[in-house]
Amino acid sequence: MKARALAGWGALLGAAAVGLAALAAPAAYRWDLPKGIAPPPVPADNPMTAAKVELGHRLFYDADLSIDGTLACAGCHGQHRAFSESNATHPGVRGAAGRRNVMTLSNVGYYGVLTWGDPGLKTLEAQVLVPTTGEHPIEMGMKGQEAELARRLGADACYRKMFAAAFPGRKGAIGMDTVALALAAFERTLVSFRSDYDRQALSEPARRGEHLFFGPRFACASCHTAPLFTDAGAADPLVAFHRIEPANGSDRGLAEITRKPEDAGRFRTPSLRNVALSPPYLHDGSAKTLPDAIRRHEQAGAMTEAEMDDLVAFLGGLTDRAFVTDPRFALPRTRCGKRL
Amino acid sequence: MRGVAVTIAAIALALVPAIGAAQEAPASTAACTAMDKTLPPELAAWTAQTPLAAAASAAGLRKASLTLGKAVTADLPQTPQVHFVTQPEKPGGTVSHGGMFELNIDKAGTYVVALGSGAWIDVLKDGKPLMSTAHARGPACLTLRKMVDFSLQPGRYVLQVSANAEARLPILLARRP
């Protein structure tokens, strides 16, 4: 077990080597990570700086990123639910129907593939455009509204200062591209490795559940791979897409992108970090509880009730209370030094 | 009568115990032949709305008092003009609307704040937001889009509305049976 976990950390350390060059930039963001945890990889063209993370933090909570000012990133990604929410799917602006369940953002900076169904979407910078300007479904409704976004943000003197500090090489340009860079930088700071599992402080039932989880009988860890508890960190993005049930007609998952019939019903493995805080489950939010979600996996058919209880206890041991109460990730209470 | 019973059952099923300050997103509008024909008794006043201007600051709260059991169509200022008593958890962008209302409760019980949109609400006691006890989407074929329940003791409260798309918002405060 320990060897398997260490192998996982090794992969993270390797990934972090990419980020080390970026960390050498002036005014770099100072990571505050548990011992032995490396920061996520950082793209060379979007180095982490404290000013950029601070800007991204504010933007994450700003509903002016939606057409009618009602929906911020945090409107779906609530911190107390590990940056997810309680609805099966979340409607977009003006009542637009939601389509898929909101994933948590725990450790999202370590993932090589980011959404339920698109293996080509590999960077947080690119992913920002999905909720902001996407139309399938409409979420924040900003397609074609880039000038309006710049007008709104540019009207705020504090934002002008923050963009200038975050993007001195671009003369503080305010636009969808710099918004995306800042949001991605903030999202990379959403690191969650302080659970009972990480601190080796699992309860006895959770320890029994841990053995079931990593054991060959149920093989949960073959897809929910530690330490991320998803295989979305693998080098090959297609590795992370699996089918646990036959495809249904309304959402064909990976096949919508690849156009291959055999990919119908395949969805990216969600991380189980903080999973107890993020019901409902599965790509459509159709499983209301953890046992509901577990029973939807074929290999859980022979699981006893006692084993289910232990497995659920283990999954609860992946909850990182420090992560969901960390003020660095919470709704900002000040703006340019002024209390709100 | 049967229609009322069906609606009450639908609302009961839709009610979900709240965790923290979670609030349900509004349901999409279904195709209905008529709206607001099957309101539960405690929300029967929903369709008899009278205008009320929301307060933009604590000083204006006394003139923006919600009366129990009487629906209003609230006029909400634009968000930048509102000085909330406490920063809302979902503040709304500069192009959204918000405002505040005074609530005076005489009798302890469970109260529902019903809204005609999916706006965010906070109920404050002494400036601190209370945890909701349940939240639900408005059932199909009602213009009521969202309901949030609070357990309230006698006293004065402040209702904050934030992140509303429109300048007008139907609101009803009612006591649960």
Residues 23-42 of B with CB under 8 A from A: 24-29
Indicate the pTM of the whole model: 0.88
Tell if the CB–CB gap between B93 and A65 is shorter than 8 Å.
yes
Peptide bond into A137 cis (omega under 30): yes
Report whether pLDDT(B20) > 50.
no
Question: What value does the mean pLDDT take over residues A37-60?
Answer: 97
Question: What value does the mean pLDDT take over residues A216-238?
Answer: 95
- Which ipTM did the prediction report? 0.83
Question: What value does the mean pLDDT take over residues A78-86?
Answer: 96
Report whether pLDDT(A236) > 80.
yes
Lowest-pLDDT range, A87-96, A253-262, A292-301, B81-90?
A: A87-96
Q: Which two tokens stand for residue A339?
A: 């209390």
CB A241 within 8 A of CB A118: no
- The pLDDT value recorded for residue A7 is 43
CA triplet A154, A96, B73: central angle to 5 degrees? 80
From CA A185, how far away is CA A192, in angstroms rounded? 16
Closest chain A residue to the Cα of B78, Cα to Cα? A69
pLDDT band at A318 (very low <50, low <70, confident <90, very high): very high
Q: Which long-range contacts (CB under 8 A, 24 or more apart) does A20-24 make?
A: A22/A46, A22/A47, A22/A48, A23/A47, A23/A48
CB contact, 8 Å: A276 with chain B? no
- The pLDDT value recorded for residue B12 is 38
**Could you tell me how many residues make up chain A?**
340
Tell if the CB–CB gap between A68 and B119 is shorter than 8 Å.
no
- The pLDDT value recorded for residue A340 is 84
The two counts, helices (H) then strands (E), for chain B are 1, 12
Q: Which two tokens stand for residue B114?
A: 């019903």
Which residue, among B94, B131, B160, would best test binding to A if mutated, counting the most A CBs under 10 Å from its CB?
A: B94
Rounded to 5 degrees, what are φ and ψ at B109? 170, -175
Which residue, among B85, B89, B137, B166, would best test binding to A if mutated, counting the most A CBs under 10 Å from its CB?
A: B89
- The pLDDT value recorded for residue B25 is 59
**Ramachandran class of A336: left when φ > 0, alpha when ψ lies in -120 to 50, beta otherwise:** left
Residue A111's Cβ-side half-sphere holds a number of Cα atoms within 13 Å equal to: 39
CB contact, 8 Å: B160 with chain A? no
Closest chain A residue to the Cα of B24, Cα to Cα? A87
Closest chain A residue to the Cα of B79, Cα to Cα? A69
CB contact, 8 Å: A87 with chain B? yes
- The pLDDT value recorded for residue B27 is 52
Question: What value does the mean pLDDT take over residues A222-229?
Answer: 97
DSSP secondary structure of B112-173: EEEESS--EEEEEETTEEPPPSEEEEPPTT-S--EEEEEEE-SEEEEEEEEEESSSEEEEEE
Question: What value does the mean pLDDT take over residues A285-301?
Answer: 96
Tell if the CB–CB gap between A64 and B119 is shorter than 8 Å.
no
pLDDT band at A126 (very low <50, low <70, confident <90, very high): very high
Rounded to 5 degrees, what are φ and ψ at B143? -75, -10
Q: Which two tokens stand for residue B165?
A: 């798309």
Chain B residues within an 8 Å CB radius of A64: 93-95
**Which is it for the CA torsion A294, A300, A301, A303, positive or negative?**
negative
Q: Which two tokens stand for residue B83?
A: 């000085």
Q: Which two tokens stand for residue B175?
A: 């006591």
CB A230 within 8 A of CB A240: yes
CB contact, 8 Å: A158 with chain B? no
- The pLDDT value recorded for residue B81 is 98
- Round the average pLDDT of chain B to a whole number and report it: 87
Which residue, among A64, A65, A67, A86, would best test binding to B if mutated, counting the most B CBs under 10 Å from its CB?
A: A86
In this complex, which of A68, A87, A97 lies closest to B96 when CB atoms are compared? Answer: A68
- The pLDDT value recorded for residue B30 is 55
- The pLDDT value recorded for residue A27 is 79
- The pLDDT value recorded for residue B139 is 81
Measure A18 CA to nearest chain B CA, in Å.
Answer: 36
Tell if the CB–CB gap between B25 and A152 is shorter than 8 Å.
no
- What is the spatial order of strands in the sheet that B128-129 belongs to? B65-66, B97-105, B155-164, B120-125, B128-129
A61 vs B24, which has greater pLDDT? A61
What is the enclosing helix (H) or strand (E) of A54? helix A50-60
B22 vs A273, which has greater pLDDT? A273
Report whether pLDDT(B9) > 80.
no
Measure A340 CA to nearest chain B CA, in Å.
Answer: 7
Question: What value does the mean pLDDT take over residues A162-168?
Answer: 97
From CA B105, how far away is CA B38, in angstroms rounded? 27
| Nearest Cα to Cα of residue A18 among A34, A1, A40, A33 | A40
Measure B42 CA to nearest chain A CA, in Å.
Answer: 26
Residue A114 has a CB neighbour count (10 Å cut-off) of 23
B168 vs A97, which has greater pLDDT? B168
Question: What value does the mean pLDDT take over residues B36-56?
Answer: 93
pLDDT per residue over B114-142, tens digit each? 999 999 999 999 999 999 999 888 888 98
A233 vs A20, which has greater pLDDT? A233
